[in-house]
Amino acid sequence: MLELDLEVVRDGFVLEVALSLGAGPTVLVGPNGAGKSTLLRAILGAVPVRRGRIVLEGRVLLDTQRGVSLPTEERRVAWVPQEYALFPHLSVRENVQFGAPGAAGRRRAGEFLDRLGLGPLAARLPGALSGGERQKVALARALAAEPRALLLDEPLAALDTETRASTRTLLSETLRQLGIPSLVVTHDARDLAVLAAPMVLLESGRVQSVGALSGFRAAPPTDFARSLLAPLSS
């Protein structure tokens, strides 16, 4: 369980979010500038939080009232940004092993390389990979670090249509097997359909609605939600 109650103020923009995320994926949707990436970065500890609390599996990551703020490296929250942020000077294997030290870590990294079909690419540098392969490396790297929560910022946005379809299914299966709170930002209705996960609609820095995809489809709470889900009706 990942419990959030946050207020972030950045350059006049105010983000106010109170949410409880269960195990498995939760999809975060909203128009550009709604504060989705800022929310992810706040959970990560990469942007200052003015007021609030983050509790992950009973462990307090942040509590502004008590002056608690764990540094990012101690939060055990893995983050996959939009462009994946693979270390360009490290091989695929070294990237995946980065957050998995020791013999046990190496074994775990090897398992994720195999599970995501990256074994044959292990010696390559990220620059020599396709978009889909890079996405898988970023996911394997995040998972090999044994995080307690996972943040994926538009994980499929940089992929072409064909790669996107296959990676979408793989992502959905992996997140379900993983069983940790995972927040997935997307702009694509097909991602919502395949992930079939609880949805959070964020607009202008506030949570407008939370619920299942079916509920959103039956009664879209805002114009943005209506246009986002339109492709699923056709």
Partner 1 sequence: MVSVLAIPLLALVVSTGAGDFFGGLRHPLALSALRLSLLTTTSSLALTLLLGTPLAWWMARHPGPTERVVSTLVQLPIVVPPAVSGLALLLAFGRRGLLGPLLESAGWTLPFTTAAVVLAELFVSAPFYVQSATTAFRRLDEDLLWTARSLGASPARRFFEVALPLSRPGVVTGAALSWARALGEFGATLMFAGNLAGRTQTLPLAIYTALETDLRPAKALSVLMVAVALGVLLLLGRGTVLEAVRARA
Q: What are the backbone dihedrals phi and psi of residue 97, each rounded to the nearest 5 degrees, phi first? A: -80, -10
Residue 157: how many other CB atoms lie within 10 Å: 16
Q: What is the largest CA-CA distance in the chain?
A: 52
The residue whose two tokens read 């959030």 is: 4
Give the residue with the Cβ less far from partner 1, 76 or 164: 76
Cα dist from 15 to 10, 38, 52, whole Å: 8, 8, 11
| Nearest distance from C-beta of residue 107 to partner 1, angstroms | 17
Give the residue with the Cβ less far from partner 1, 46 or 232: 46
| Nearest distance from C-beta of residue 120 to partner 1, angstroms | 24
42 close to 6: Cβ distance less than 8 angstroms: yes
| Nearest distance from C-beta of residue 70 to partner 1, angstroms | 11
What contacts 111, CB < 8 A, 6 or more positions away? none
> Letter for the amino acid at 21?
L
| Nearest distance from C-beta of residue 217 to partner 1, angstroms | 34
Give the residue with the Cβ less far from partner 1, 72 or 208: 72
What are the helix and strand counts (H, E) for the chain? 9, 11
Cα dist from 100 to 58, 93, 143, 148, 157, whole Å: 23, 11, 9, 14, 27
Give the residue with the Cβ less far from partner 1, 18 or 68: 68
Give the residue with the Cβ less far from partner 1, 126 or 132: 126
3-state DSSP assignment of residue 159: coil
| Nearest distance from C-beta of residue 81 to partner 1, angstroms | 5
| Nearest distance from C-beta of residue 100 to partner 1, angstroms | 8
Which residues of the shown chain bind partner 1 in the complex (CB under 8 A)?
Answer: 41, 44-46, 71-79, 81, 83, 85, 87-89, 98-99, 141-142, 145, 147
Give the residue with the Cβ less far from partner 1, 6 or 78: 78
3-state DSSP assignment of residue 124: coil
134 close to 126: Cβ distance less than 8 angstroms: yes
| Nearest distance from C-beta of residue 46 to partner 1, angstroms | 5
Give the residue with the Cβ less far from partner 1, 18 or 46: 46
